[in-house]
Amino acid sequence: MWTFENPVEIRFGKGVFDSVGDIIRGRSFCLVTYNESYFKTLANRLIGTAGKPASIINNITPNPNFNTLTESCRQFADSATEDMVIVALGGGSVIDAAKVLASSNSGFAPVREYLETGAGEKRLGAYPIIAIPTTAGTGSEVTRWATVWDTKSQKKYSLSRHALYPTHAVIDPELMLELPRELTISTALDALSHALESIWNRNSNPVSANHAVFAATEIMKTLPKLVNDLQNLELRSRVARASLFAGLAFSNTRTALAHSVSYPITLKYQVPHGLACSFSLPMVLASVVGEDDTCDANLRRIFGDDLDKAVTELDRFLNGLDVSTKASSYGVQVEEWKELLTLALSGERGLNFIGTHERVMENFKI
């Protein structure tokens, strides 16, 4: 028995950015974006086709945290009206911040209480979101959750509610042409990680697996070409589409061990999310091969019949993008890495992983 659900209406292709006005349909809207010159240009283009927003919230920084979100929610409360739509124009940090704003209610306090205690969902808001991703990685445009970081207490929270599925995802690969090499790599590796993590996952199902196999195969084939040809729209489109498919896959399974172990590394060593959740993929792969027939079959569709070679192939792929697959390269010490892995396996995402502690330790790599 399995089910698959995703309610997001998707528009994909060069130029779809200019059709956002058709989705807003004259409603009052709040634009959420970064305070950067490229995004000011994009905001002006949007205003030209969709009209003026009731408010613009642009204090979004990478990895939205309690402090910046408190300020964003305060600004949002000043202009929010009941029929308002939130338009999120940016990467995962912007889309996730938009999900927090959509849940806010006269400020951040009820969201914070819900994150910290799990209580008070009825007090949360539920504004509709139109998500326009400008990175190809997080898949947040088709998921129902937002990652929220409490940098002061060194904690990562997941705000997860059905109401947070954006109503629309507008994916225009042309908006991604200016992404620099490093960000292109780290964000695409986030997508690769979503795809693989949804395969070695207790919640995997035939639809998620199909999306994941497509996404992982495509990223491994296309990303090495894209990093040497960043302005190539066709390659950008293929990676953006693969990221979307990875998003659809893990929207129904959530992630697993590689993500679970990444959060403390991002918090402690400031490693960008996409690198933190992907450098351990070869080690996690080595520990899961042979654990489950369906998982093995899906991995063979990506890596070919000989799964013994898959670990080396994935390792080479990452090294070829100048990404080290050793935890020590990111500052992690031997005992700390063992402890982090053990803790991660019993964490919420780690419990989705179909492998075992024993096998992970057998394949331990630092």
Ligand X SMILES: NC(=O)c1ccc[n+]([C@@H]2O[C@H](COP(=O)([O-])OP(=O)(O)OC[C@H]3O[C@@H](n4cnc5c(N)ncnc54)[C@H](O)[C@@H]3O)[C@@H](O)[C@H]2O)c1
Q: Retrieve residue 338's tokens.
A: 């063992």
CA 266 to chain centre: 14
Other Cβ atoms within 10 Å of 244 Cβ, number: 23
Query: Which of the choices ligand X, Fe ion, none does residue 90 contact, using the CB cut-off of 5 to 8 A by kind?
Result: ligand X
Write the binding mask 45 to 74 for Fe ion: x where contact by CB under 5 A, - elsewhere: ------------------------------
Query: Binding to Fe ion by residue 96, rule CB under 5 A?
Result: no
Residue 113 CB, shortest distance to ligand X, in Å, is 20
All residues at 6 or more sequence positions from 317 whose CB lies less than 8 Å from its CB, including other chains: 220, 224
Nearer Cβ to ligand X, position 311 or 352? Answer: 352
- Long-range contacts of residues 108-116, Cβ cutoff 8 Å, at least 24 apart: 108/66, 108/69, 108/70, 108/72, 108/73, 108/74, 111/69, 111/73, 111/148, 111/159, 112/66, 114/159, 115/148, 115/157, 115/159, 116/157
Q: Are 88 and 135 in contact (CB under 8 A)?
A: no
Query: Which of the choices Fe ion, ligand X, none does residue 135 contact, using the CB cut-off of 5 to 8 A by kind?
Result: ligand X
Query: Which of the choices Fe ion, ligand X, none does residue 71 contact, using the CB cut-off of 5 to 8 A by kind?
Result: none
Nearer Cβ to ligand X, position 148 or 286? Answer: 148
**Contact range with Fe ion by CB under 5 A, out of 6-14, 209-217, 277-285, 305-313:** 277-285
Q: Are 86 and 165 in contact (CB under 8 A)?
A: no
Residue 11 CB, shortest distance to ligand X, in Å, is 17
CA separation for the pair 12, 158 (Å, rounded):
27
- Which residue from 7, 4, 20 is spatially nearest to 171, judged by alpha carbons? 20
**Contact range with Fe ion by CB under 5 A, out of 7-15, 83-91, 270-278, 289-297:** 270-278
Nearer Cβ to ligand X, position 86 or 289? Answer: 86
Q: What is the DSSP letter of 142?
A: G
Query: Which of the choices ligand X, Fe ion, none does residue 145 contact, using the CB cut-off of 5 to 8 A by kind?
Result: ligand X
Nearer Cβ to ligand X, position 53 or 64? Answer: 64
Closest residue to Fe ion: CB criterion:
190
* Residue ranges in contact with ligand X by CB under 6 A: 34, 36, 38, 62-63, 90-94, 96, 134-135, 137-140, 143, 145-147, 175-176, 178-179, 183, 187, 190, 273-274
| Beta strands 55-57; 129-133: pairing state | unpaired
Phi-psi domain of 146 (left: phi exceeds 0; alpha: psi -120 through 50; beta: other)? beta
Could you say which of 190, 197, 218, 315 contacts Fe ion (CB under 5 A)?
190
Query: Binding to Fe ion by residue 315, rule CB under 5 A?
Result: no
Residue 255 CB, shortest distance to Fe ion, in Å, is 6
Query: Binding to Fe ion by residue 197, rule CB under 5 A?
Result: no
Nearer Cβ to Fe ion, position 93 or 103? Answer: 93
Q: Which residues bind Fe ion (CB under 5 A)?
A: 190, 277
